[in-house]
Structure 1
Amino acid sequence: MLRNFLSKLGHWLLQRIRLIPDKDRKNTKWFMLSFYITSLFVAIIYAIGNPTGVSLFAHVTNIGKLVLLHGITYCIWTLIISAILSFLYIPFPRLLLSSFSYLMFASVIVFIIEDSGVVFAFTFGISYSLLCLLFTLLLLLLFKKRFIMNLVIFSLLIVSSYLVFEHFGNALFTRDVPAMADMNLEQLNVENPGEEGNYSYTFLTYGSGTDKHRSEFGQNVNIITPTVDASHFITRWKDKREEFWGFNQSQLPINGRVWLPDGEGPFPVILIVHGNHTMEDFSTSGYDYLGEQLASRGFITISVDEDFINYSNVSGIPNNNYELRTWILLKHLVQLKDLNETIGNPLYEKVDLTNVGLVGHSRGGQAVAMAADYKRFFDDEPWFNQLQDIQIKGIVALAPTDKSLDGKRAWLSNVSYFVIQGAQDADINTFQGDRQYYRTSVSNDTFKASLYIAGANHSQFNTEWGSMDTSLPEGLILNQMQTIEPEEQRQLAKVNISAFFERTLHGQMIYEEFFRNYQHGISWLPDTIIVTKYENSTYFPLIEFDNNKPVMAKGISTNEDGFSEVNIFTPKDRRNNNRTVDASHLKWKSTAEYTIKLEEFDKNRLENKENLMLTMANFTGEDNRIPEIQILLETTDGIKVDLPLSAFLPFPPVITSDFTHFGWFDSIFREGKYENSWEAVFQSFEIPLDAFEKKNAKFDRNKLKRISLQFDRPSGEVLLEGIGLSR
């Protein structure tokens, strides 16, 4: 009986297997081919975005493995699912459905692996699969008859659709905002810092001389440097990483790309350190444009190699990665000191180590701040005494991280700090460097500044990182239409970084005016919206806000008139993290006035103060209204003078960003990382008091009695962070 049952079962199974294609039509083969190709595309994109080696052979091998695995999986999946459908007597095209289900599975699973978010993975995977189905159906209908004519029509539809969408996408970034202040501010009478300087320079490298993948640190290196041992705090260094590089954490190389100005020297030195990126996709040469620019202006510039501690799809990332980046950077400074004192190498007596600047990108941006505050993060080591004579005078952070390490973050003093952040940054999509700005105290000759750029992303500061802020396939989901051109983003970096170091390392004080008010160098900048902050050691706050209450200088009082809402709170960034400082939320539906009264204020504090300083942010959200503000100053003898704030600097709009195409997936992609399209970004306004004296010769700043901000636009809302005086 059992034998008879098994015989019937076997016969039934074979019959159902033979009937698998029974419900499929002749066009099924075209659908299956389409689903195979579109799922193959997903596999290839995933392989490209997750390299396992450096060479072309390694890339081809990696892609080949995925293609082979995809082909085998596609065939097995299709056969098994179609057989199950046949066994269940499902009266639908079984091969078509099973191959379609594989396309959905592949499209979903690849984004789940990439941690793009489960909801997004299913939403995108199913949508992509349905589009492929409809696209294939459309092609079959188009090419069934009149092949050539339909091909032309179809091509025209594709091209015109692209042009329409491209125009619409670019229109998202267009804003009706004046670039210039109403008052024509005098342009600085200095050369454009973004242009090449007068120094010729020599390119050279220093390093271990044994690098397996980069000849400039291997056989073609100019200066051999000893390796360093980090094994006392780096314990995770996988065998695959050692196999790739040929060394472990006890033999880390000190490699650098150097641009050396021609001349006797010594020259100020600037070290640039990259951030975390795929290890096999080298980052160090991505700042050559900065190295060449700065060297032409008389700075020794060095791009520090830390590729060997970056993340790898094969070997992960070493532990204590943030500390290790800083530790290696400090080791470079020690090595430069040795080279500067050693006869017989190109850097002998060329390096002015009392005049050091640091530039860091991403995790490197945090590393440079930590390097200036290294004693907070490291115990005394024997070589730390060699750092005592090295003076770091300026730090630039490009889209930096600000991760707490064992509850510690860098606090800076006696050093100038400048941070740049892009509004379109899909990697570090909150203004994290703004926190370091507030953890920097300025004194004597130092200042701090920030620059927030509409349309700038994360990767384009490094020429080797491409234009996408995430690796494939996620990078294809990101919106590129609001991103400014790479050349424009790097030009903004060159102008600002060069100006910063001309001021901090060359002592050309005039360039500080550019950071006070970028209108002084507006002709140097590409056409995009920027938001800036600035503060020097002469700043005296009249009113600030902390712990949900105002903090006022002695003798100061305030009055708010006409506002529908006034409340002090801690603004949040895009990820709903609290900002470092509080602000007063001012909302009005008709005209309103915010007044600071100085009747009992010590007028001696007004001596030598030349500027009124305001720090505010637009808070109107996506409706993007621009407040119109009049500044009214009144003296004790009754003289009143008013000027529009826009005479000095345009009030920036709320800068919104769609991180995915047209913002369709912002709320679900990467677990809602991009759900909030904007965050409050504060602009500092420096208002020269002599402008009021020029308007009315009777105005005496030393008799200042009242400062009023008059909000004239019918409705709006701003955040007020502080009002003060400076020189």
Structure 2
Amino acid sequence: MQVIWENVRQSINRFKTNREPKQPLSSNWKWAAIIMIIPSLILFIIQSIYFFGDRGIYEFTVATLLFILFISLISGLLTVLLFAFKKLPNLYLWLFFSSCFMLFICFMGPLEVSTLFIFVFILSLTLWGALIYRLKEKGGIRNKLLFALLTIWIGLFSYWIINDGQPSPRGVTLKELKKANHYDSSAIQNPNQNGLYKVQSITYGSKNSYRKEFNRKNSLLTKPIDASPFLEKWSTLRTKTFGFGPKELPLNGTVWYPKGEGPFPLVIAVHGNHLMTDYSDPGYKYLGQLLASRGYIFVSIDENFLNVSPFNDMFIFHALEKENPARAILLLEHLKTWKNWNKEEKNPFFEKVDMDNIALIGHSRGGEAISIAAAFNQLSNSPDNAKIKFNYGFHIRSLISISGTDGYYSPSGKPVPLQNINYLALHGSHDMDVNSFSGYSQFNRIHFNSDQDFMKASVYIYGANHGQFNQTWGKRDGVGLGNQLFNLKQLMPIEDQERVAKVFISSFLDATIKNKKEYKLIFKDIGYAQKWLPNTMYISDYGDSKTSILTSFDEDIDVLSTSVMGGRIQGKHLMEWKEERMKLKYGESLNSVVRLGWNLRKLRKAASYTVFLPGKGLNLTENSSISFSMADSTKRKNPSYRKDLIDLTITLVDDEGNRASLPLSHVSKLIPMIEGKLLKWPFTELSPTKEPIFQHFNFQLKDFKRMNPAFNPQTLNQISFEFNRTEKGTVLVNDIGIR
């Protein structure tokens, strides 16, 4: 420590006693600094409008100036510390660091991309400023040529910044993958079509709410709740902005409801993290109007006061932490309010709410909050503090996660467990906020009792992003100028993404809340919904309580064992065969799958993977089916979504040795890993672009019997995956079962 301090002291003395002439910047350095700092300041002020523009001119000006002052101080400190090693003038170095900090805040993205972008930006402006001086002082053909070339480069670079990117290659569409003549959806009514009910709307809120729309003349009144045990680092600035603290969080909501006697199922939707004062809850109006017309009471609740605020969080130095449990508690307290209203004779919702059929919809962090709420709903005490009592016990039947997060909250250090609840996860391949399909992790953690009737489903949508599921958020998933690093042109139109949400959410609620079984077909096989959906790529997975899982690969480390006693596994001629946790764009899933690879050209023998069934306990009939989930994990440099679809053979064998086979393409070929190239060229490959997404397959045993009448489905003995229809590839397989 003494040596380090002595070096610092000597550097400071050199700074004080430097014998170099104390002259101002030379003109060329001055121009370089001016041309560098002015655009940086302009861009930073534009970014400040995104951060602070809703605060009023006084607070906007103060916050922006304080931010610039802070950056200047940090940059000045870096300049002093680097003085002993520098070759550049002090003032230029100071402005250089200031520009870097401002631009980094403007263009926040993947670290390596932001760093490279800022380096090119600063270098270009520095050279341009120096050339302006040289051209002014000396002229010359070479200087003019260099200046012209650099000006063209800066023009192209500026165009790159403001341009929305390049369109994506067209993939295999739903109608190409699922031929329409194979599906008879005449028994299913269009889930995107408005229903028969006239839609009405009303708001409710705590007295003197910070938003006047919740305190209108006809608004219903609610009481605030104390959520302080579930929050950390609520700032005094946040209290000053809202007029309340964590002990008095309001219960605010906008309701769309059908005009009629009822009772109607209750659906509560909650947004996720966004700029606190760019209110997110109005963004689900399109869902509220549709679902209310179809006989649901739909509520979009306000939790904006739990969201990020650069002003109230002092940028990042006093940010709210670990708030997802509070989001969940607020959901449950809203339900408690609705339960009381349903019993109050003078309330407009008296006996109009079906409290036995409740669904929760969550977007982004809200997608995780609904799972936490469902878990808390079944507990009598908080898992993090047993002194806190819970008394909820609502009949929450269904959860719908839209681009949901996972893992922001781990009760008692464990992933959130759920059992016997319907679950749907929607996610876009071009999500620029929640990059990995995090909602699928919760999908895998949901388990059912066989004597119940529950389902779970996931849908991965090509061209969908994070924000277009919310009309307030739109196509830009970040805040401000950082969006310009992303390839926005490849996104589907917002009206198409809303239609995707309406079709799947309406179908799922009708299937699980109103018990309209025909809508389950859409999730077992997405081809049944193709005439209502935008014609893009979709990968969907499915599971239900009627499926007996033969092997899920989570039971042990023995690659030959199954999840049921008496079963076993055999593999032949495989290039790869191992059980592993699935690798995501970032991190890995918590559940295990089996990886299978083959290469016909190398081995000249067809590889196979066979599950031998136990002799008893499956109760098979001709109406039974085999089901499994499969994901393409083949590494391809330039995938062609139409040419690279994997096909293989599914072969069943009964106790007598009778064989019956069908190609995988009897249901569907396997879609390659969808590439979501989020960043513009040339940064495209600097962040992960794809991850395996599981596709559900369901083969009816009677279809195999048609292929071989001698085959007896009731004595099914073997299920074999034979890799003989595609030359080489790698797949992941999960949840092989009997339905």
Flag whether TM exceeds 0.5 (same fold): yes
Q: Which residue in the other structure is 1:7 paired with?
A: none
Give SS of 1:256's match. Answer: strand
- The structure 2 residue matched to 1:396, chosen from 393, 400, 404, is 400
- Comparing 291-300 with 619-628, greater Cα deviation is found at 619-628
The one-letter amino acid paired with 2:362 is G
Displacement of 1:317: 4.5
Give SS of 1:475's match. Answer: helix
CA 1:194/1:137 → structure 2, altered by over 3 Å: closer, same or farther?
A: farther
The one-letter amino acid paired with 1:677 is T
8 Å Cα contact 1:209-1:221 kept in structure 2: no
The one-letter amino acid paired with 1:693 is K
Q: Which residue in the other structure is 1:408 paired with?
A: 414
8 Å Cα contact 1:226-1:254 kept in structure 2: yes
1:572 aligns with 2:583: yes
- The structure 2 residue matched to 1:506, chosen from 514, 519, 523, is 514
The one-letter amino acid paired with 2:193 is E
Instruction: Return the alpha-carbon distance in structure 2 between the equivalents of residues 610 and 61 of structure 1.
Output: 68
Displacement of 1:20: 4.7
Q: Which residue in the other structure is 2:558 paired with?
A: 549
Aligned residue runs from structure 1 range 274-313, under 5 A: 274-313=271-310
Q: Which residue in the other structure is 1:627 paired with?
A: 646
Give a deviation string over 1:251-273, Cα, whole Å, max 9, x none: 22111110011101110000001
Structure 2 unmatched runs, 5+: 1-17
1:721 aligns with 2:722: no
CA 1:516/1:310 → structure 2, altered by over 3 Å: closer, same or farther?
A: same
Displacement of 1:461: 1.9
Give a deviation string over 1:81-122, Cα, whole Å, max 9, x none: 9xx99xx9x9x9x8xx96697356413454279876775554
Q: Which residue in the other structure is 1:192 paired with?
A: 190
- The structure 1 residue matched to 2:248, chosen from 246, 251, 268, is 251
1:693 aligns with 2:705: yes
1:618 aligns with 2:632: yes
CA 1:218/1:160 → structure 2, altered by over 3 Å: closer, same or farther?
A: closer
The one-letter amino acid paired with 1:478 is F
Displacement of 1:392: 0.7
Instruction: Return the alpha-carbon distance in structure 1 between the equivalents of residues 611 and 454 of structure 2.
Output: 30
Q: Which residue in the other structure is 1:588 paired with?
A: 599
Instruction: Return the alpha-carbon distance in structure 2 between the equivalents of residues 255 and 166 of structure 1.
Output: 36
Instruction: Return the alpha-carbon distance in structure 1 between the equivalents of residues 132 and 490 of structure 2.
Output: 32
Displacement of 1:56: 5.1
Instruction: Return the alpha-carbon distance in structure 2 between the equivalents of residues 228 and 104 of structure 1.
Output: 46
Pairs aligned (count): 681
- Comparing 688-697 with 307-316, greater Cα deviation is found at 688-697
1:651 aligns with 2:670: yes
- The structure 2 residue matched to 1:424, chosen from 420, 427, 430, is 430
Displacement of 1:244: 0.6
Give SS of 1:594's match. Answer: strand
Q: Which residue in the other structure is 2:440 paired with?
A: 434
Displacement of 1:639: 4.6
8 Å Cα contact 1:554-1:601 kept in structure 2: no
- The structure 1 residue matched to 2:116, chosen from 114, 123, 130, is 123
Q: Which residue in the other structure is 1:516 paired with?
A: 524
Instruction: Return the alpha-carbon distance in structure 1 between the equivalents of residues 115 and 162 of structure 2.
Output: 28
Displacement of 1:451: 1.4
Give SS of 2:458's match. Answer: strand
Instruction: Return the alpha-carbon distance in structure 2 between the equivalents of residues 48 and 724 of structure 1.
Output: 54
1:222 aligns with 2:219: yes
8 Å Cα contact 2:598-2:607 kept in structure 1: no
Instruction: Return the alpha-carbon distance in structure 1 between the equivalents of residues 371 and 716 of structure 2.
Output: 39
Q: Which residue in the other structure is 1:670 paired with?
A: none
Instruction: Return the alpha-carbon distance in structure 2 between the equivalents of residues 163 and 373 of structure 1.
Output: 44
CA 1:599/1:466 → structure 2, altered by over 3 Å: closer, same or farther?
A: closer
Displacement of 1:45: 3.4
Displacement of 1:722: 3.5
The one-letter amino acid paired with 1:651 is L
8 Å Cα contact 1:187-1:520 kept in structure 2: yes
8 Å Cα contact 2:41-2:102 kept in structure 1: no
CA 1:134/1:601 → structure 2, altered by over 3 Å: closer, same or farther?
A: farther
Instruction: Return the alpha-carbon distance in structure 1 between the equivalents of residues 703 and 205 of structure 2.
Output: 55
1:485 aligns with 2:493: yes
Instruction: Return the alpha-carbon distance in structure 2 between the equivalents of residues 370 and 531 of structure 1.
Output: 26
8 Å Cα contact 1:572-1:579 kept in structure 2: no
- Comparing 305-314 with 376-385, greater Cα deviation is found at 376-385
Displacement of 1:393: 0.7
RMSD: 4.0
8 Å Cα contact 2:34-2:129 kept in structure 1: no
8 Å Cα contact 1:532-1:684 kept in structure 2: yes
- The structure 1 residue matched to 2:660, chosen from 613, 618, 641, is 641
Displacement of 1:716: 0.9
Instruction: Return the alpha-carbon distance in structure 2 between the equivalents of residues 14 and 549 of structure 1.
Output: 74
Displacement of 1:688: 2.0
Displacement of 1:205: 0.4
Displacement of 1:344: 2.3
Give a deviation string over 1:163-205, Cα, whole Å, max 9, x none: 99878x314x433566423684323222221232222111110
Give a deviation string over 1:486-545, Cα, whole Å, max 9, x none: 222222111111111011111111101111110111122222222211111121223332
Q: Which residue in the other structure is 2:42 paired with?
A: 41
Structure 1 unmatched runs, 5+: 1-11, 668-673
Q: Which residue in the other structure is 1:174 paired with?
A: 170
Give SS of 2:608's match. Answer: strand
Aligned residue runs from structure 1 range 14-25, under 5 A: 17=23, 20-21=25-26, 24=28
Q: Which residue in the other structure is 1:458 paired with?
A: 466
1:664 aligns with 2:673: no
Instruction: Return the alpha-carbon distance in structure 1 between the equivalents of residues 235 and 689 of structure 2.
Output: 39
Give SS of 2:546's match. Answer: coil
Q: Which residue in the other structure is 2:369 paired with?
A: 367
1:534 aligns with 2:545: no
Instruction: Return the alpha-carbon distance in structure 1 between the equivalents of residues 389 and 204 of structure 2.
Output: 20
- Comparing 636-645 with 286-295, greater Cα deviation is found at 636-645
Instruction: Return the alpha-carbon distance in structure 2 between the equivalents of residues 216 and 166 of structure 1.
Output: 35
Q: Which residue in the other structure is 2:61 paired with?
A: 61
Give a deviation string over 1:413-435, Cα, whole Å, max 9, x none: 22111112222223222222222
Instruction: Return the alpha-carbon distance in structure 1 between the equivalents of residues 246 and 68 of structure 2.
Output: 36
